[in-house]
Every structure is written in C-alpha cells, then in structure tokens.
Amino acid sequence: MLPYVMLTHWIADFLCQTRWMAENKSKDLKALSAHVGVYTVVLGVLCWPLFSLLGGLAFMLVNGVLHFVVDFITSRISSYFYQQKNMHAFFATVGFDQYLHFVCLWGTFLYFRAI
C-alpha cells in the first residue's frame, strides 16, 4: 500500500502543481497555499480508501500541514541555489525535499492506518 501512497504523492505534488505554483511558492504564500491546498485534496481523495473515515481525514490534514512546512523551508533554499546557478545544491535540496515528504507520508500512513 505504501507504493500507492507514494504514487498519489507524485500525482499531487508534481502533476497537479502548476507552473505558477512551482515558480512562486518560494516567495508568495498565496502560491504555496494553493499548491498545498491542491496537494492535500488530491492526496486525501486518492488515499481515503486506505483508511477509516477518521484515519483518512487525519492523514489528509496532517500531511497537508507537514507538506506546507517542508515546502515553506525547502522551496526557499532551492530557489536560492537556483538563482546562484548552483545546480548540484539545487537538485540536492529538491531530492531532500522529496525525502522529507516520504518520511512524513510513511510515518503518518503507519500511524493513521491503525486508527
């Protein structure tokens, strides 16, 4: 089931993120909030069948908050490195961002699956 959760993360985080969201979330809370709002709804709708009613709602909301916090920090760092043309540090930051999202999804999946 965890591979399915990661697939839904990819859909919600990459396929459903517009160019405007991606280019502006590091400097505009409206863009970041729009991205996280879409992410949270898509993740929640696609993962809901894996949980009870309460567990699914909690999984969706907690991951929305965690996603906001992670992206708030990592988007600013990756944007800085991109502007400096430091592509190694930029991609390392993007990769670490995805690692953090994976850890959050894994932990919340295990926790809220039990509810």
The number of CA neighbours under 13 Å toward the Cβ of 76 is 8
Rg of the chain taking only CA atoms, in angstroms: 14
Q: What are the CB-based long-range contacts (under 8 Å, 24+) for 36-45?
A: 36/64, 36/67, 36/68, 36/71, 37/64, 38/12, 39/12, 39/13, 39/64, 39/67, 40/12, 40/64, 40/67, 42/8, 42/11, 42/12, 42/16, 43/8, 43/9, 43/12
Instruction: Please check the confidence at residue 36 and state whether its pLDDT lies above 90.
Output: yes
Predicted model pTM: 0.95
Q: How confident is the model at residue 4 (pLDDT cuts 50, 70, 90)?
A: very high
Residues 27-31, mean pLDDT to the nearest whole number: 98
User: What average pLDDT does this structure show over 35-42?
Assistant: 98
Residue 115 has pLDDT above 80, yes or no: no
Average pLDDT of the residues of the chain: 97
Summarised one tens digit per residue, pLDDT across range 39-88 is: 999 999 999 999 998 999 999 999 999 999 999 999 999 999 999 999 99
Above pLDDT 90, what percent of the chain? 96
